[in-house]
Structure 1
Amino acid sequence: MTEPRRVDARRASGTRTEPPGLVWYASYGSNTHMARLNSYLAGGSPPGGGREYPGCRDARPPLRSLPLELPGRLYFATQSPVWSGGRAFYDADAPDGVVRARAHLVTAGQFADIAAQEMYRAPGGDLDLAPVLGTGRARLGDGRYETLLYPGDVDGLPVLTFTAPWSRGDVAHVRPSGPYLRHIAEGLFESGAWDLHGIAAYLAACTDGDWTAAEIEALPRP
């Protein structure tokens, strides 16, 4: 098994004089699964997903991908028209939790295009990463994935992700669909850090009782 990495939380605030060319995109939802992420990068419709993605300006695959553990909690809320169930969100401020994720090494432009597609917008514009790299959090808007987070570094490069502006306790939890959970499970399993039994138990705990570990483990593979 591959040992999951943890972020170095010592942020180099104020010391980055140039925007980073490469960043680690930390995916904690369905983009943990490489087949799903490829639809964001190269365009197309992933297995089990009812949406066509335009893709990134740079369609190349990640330079590297590795398992990652982030402090906080994963939860499911709002209603996804793609998956017909709750979406995954990351509450970085939740105490005593660990979120299993997968970090993909991509260009800053690819990260911006992935974020745009998550908000049903056309890719093509770059993000000003200075605010999030300087403070750890930057709110681009009120949308569900328009809050950027910078939890720290891995191998000297910033780890970035996006989530909702609210916290776990501010919204009603919504049961995620089986295909959505299976994509997350497949991606975490691909990383080589966790077995399917442990992944199913982790995801079941994140659903607050909406799914059992046995039910998740029995889901058909995408």
Structure 2
Amino acid sequence: MPVPLALRETGGVHVWYASYGSNLSSDRFQCYLSGGRPEGASRTYPGARSQNPPEDDRALTLPGEMFFAWESPTWGGGIAFYDAAVAGATLARAYLVTEQQFADVAAQEMHRPPGADLDLSQVLEHSRDEVGPGRYETLHLVGELEGAPVLTFTTPDPAGLQHNSPAPAYLRMIAEGLREAHELSDEDIAAYLLARPGTQPGWDATALADLVSEPARQ
């Protein structure tokens, strides 16, 4: 899905960052921009060079599958990854940010200090770009919205990661974000999360329903 040349010649002032994991929660995402520690996390984020909030955000659905894998030092348990090659539907939230902010979010995802810009020409031309070997260093162009590209990032080899059930605090962030962006009922949120690869065997339907319906609103 190459982006038209006219789009690239604007200088790429803004892009839509499509989040499918804990950044579905606007409060959690704001920690990447203005700095801070999300509730339940063990890490404090420095924030982006520009701490302005997103200019807009939208609910959207990505083609492909979100799954839980790895072992997060920030949350404990598995975290969300995206596999664009697998059939499915991934609920996401797109934030309209500057290219610089997008680069700073990506850097912090990889436990690096913000400050280095990303060259987006490859992903805009070829829809995918492995800018590094890290877990969130493979960029994907997943669409276009109001004339700006929609980008996300994930692991270069989704099949190579071992599935792992997520921790309660991490799931609460995702649940809250799904409630905010997609206005889903508690039942629909629990059903969506239960169906993601990696959620089980750590979580069953009853435990997920309890987590979604109570702690996220306290």
TM-score by length of 1: 0.90
Contact persistence 2:39–2:169 (CA under 8 A): no
2:173 aligned residue: 183
2:22 aligned residue: 30
Contact persistence 1:13–1:135 (CA under 8 A): no
Counterpart of 1:77 in structure 2: which amino acid? A
Cα deviation, 1:136-193, whole Å, max 9, x if unaligned, reads 00001110000001011011110011100002x3332111111101100101111144
Counterpart of 1:175 in structure 2: which amino acid? S
Counterpart of 1:84 in structure 2: which amino acid? G
1:109 to 85, 100, 106: 100
Counterpart of 1:66 in structure 2: which amino acid? R
Q: 1:208 to 1:182 in 2, by over 3 A?
A: closer
1:142 aligned residue: 133
Query: SS at the partner of 1:79?
Result: coil
TM-score by length of 2: 0.92
Counterpart of 1:160 in structure 2: which amino acid? L
Higher helix share goes to which structure?
2
1:78 aligned residue: 70
Cα deviation, 1:22-71, whole Å, max 9, x if unaligned, reads 11000001011011111111011111111010000111111111111000
CA RMSD of aligned residues (A): 1.4
Structure 1 stretches of 4+ moved >3 Å: none
1:197 aligned residue: 187
Percent of matched pairs sharing the same residue: 49
Query: SS at the partner of 1:88?
Result: strand
Query: SS at the partner of 2:70?
Result: strand
CA distance in structure 2 between the partners assigned to 1:150 and 1:32 by the alignment? 18
2:161 aligned residue: 171
1:132 to 123, 128, 131: 123
Question: What stretches of structure 1 of length at least 5 have no aligned partner?
Answer: 1-9
C-alpha displacement at 1:101, in angstroms?
0.6
Cα deviation, 1:69-112, whole Å, max 9, x if unaligned, reads 000001111100111100100001102x0000110111111000
Counterpart of 1:80 in structure 2: which amino acid? S
CA distance in structure 2 between the partners assigned to 1:43 and 1:187 by the alignment? 19
Counterpart of 1:163 in structure 2: which amino acid? T
Counterpart of 1:23 in structure 2: which amino acid? V
CA distance in structure 1 between the partners assigned to 2:35 and 2:73 by the alignment? 18
CA distance in structure 2 between the partners assigned to 1:196 and 1:83 by the alignment? 22
Query: SS at the partner of 2:79?
Result: strand
CA distance in structure 2 between the partners assigned to 1:186 and 1:11 by the alignment? 33
Contact persistence 1:113–1:125 (CA under 8 A): yes
1:218 aligned residue: 210
